[in-house]
């Protein structure tokens, strides 16, 4: 981190040498960047403990532990390969639930044709199939398939039945 002392840089997830070791993520907080993974590899090569590496990076020990485990362990950790693996795991777009599960999609379409709301469909599926996690979907996912994703991927399948059906309500 430029313009800070080494300990101050560490406290903000920086190594104190002007390089960012953490990257601002789009989800929960920050993620390790390429420099952070390089610092982990250097620490492992020196024989540093996970706790000392975590202190240096300004992250929790569990973060370093998970990173090393995901990278193949202390002996096999490769920061470049691990960074590529982490980037691929974050890549978008991910397969949509209703596009990848034909049975679930058919049940949702059936409910919409019966003029059920997405919330009713979601609750009904959970009640009818309590043991089947693959047949659960949130009402938000159904709304997204109707209104957001690709101009509403379920609209074409519903045809004329969709006219005025399931308008999203404004929450107070």
Over the chain (172 residues), what is each successive 10-residue block's mean pLDDT?
45 45 52 91 96 93 95 94 90 80 93 93 95 93 78 65 54 49
pTM exceeding 0.75: no
Q: Is 43 exposed, middle or buried (0-12, 13-18, 19+ CB in 10 A)?
A: buried
pLDDT of residue 119: 95
Please state, as a whole number, how many other Cβ atoms lie within 10 Å of the Cβ of residue 28: 6
Q: Where does 48-159 have alpha helices with state H?
A: 50-57, 61-70, 79-90, 97-100, 102-113, 118-128, 139-147, 153-158
pLDDT of residue 169: 53
């Amino acid at each position: 981190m430029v313009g800070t002392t080494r300990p101050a840089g560490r406290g903000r997830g920086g190594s104190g040498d002007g390089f960012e070791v953490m990257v601002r993520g789009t989800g929960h907080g920050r993620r390790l960047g390429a420099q952070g993974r390089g610092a982990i590899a250097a620490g492992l090569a020196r024989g540093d403990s996970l706790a000392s590496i975590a202190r240096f990076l300004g992250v929790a020990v569990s973060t370093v532990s998970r990173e090393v485990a995901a990278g193949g362990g202390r002996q096999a950790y490769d920061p470049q390969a691990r960074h590529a693996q982490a980037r691929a795991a974050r890549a978008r777009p991910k397969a949509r639930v209703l596009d990848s599960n034909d049975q679930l999609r058919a049940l949702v379409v059936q409910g919409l044709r019966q003029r059920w709301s997405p919330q009713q469909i979601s609750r009904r599926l959970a009640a009818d199939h309590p043991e089947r996690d693959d047949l659960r979907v949130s009402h938000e996912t159904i709304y997204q398939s109707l209104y957001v994703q690709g101009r509403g991927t379920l609209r074409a399948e519903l045809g004329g039945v969709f006219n005025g059906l399931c308008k999203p309500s404004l929450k107070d």
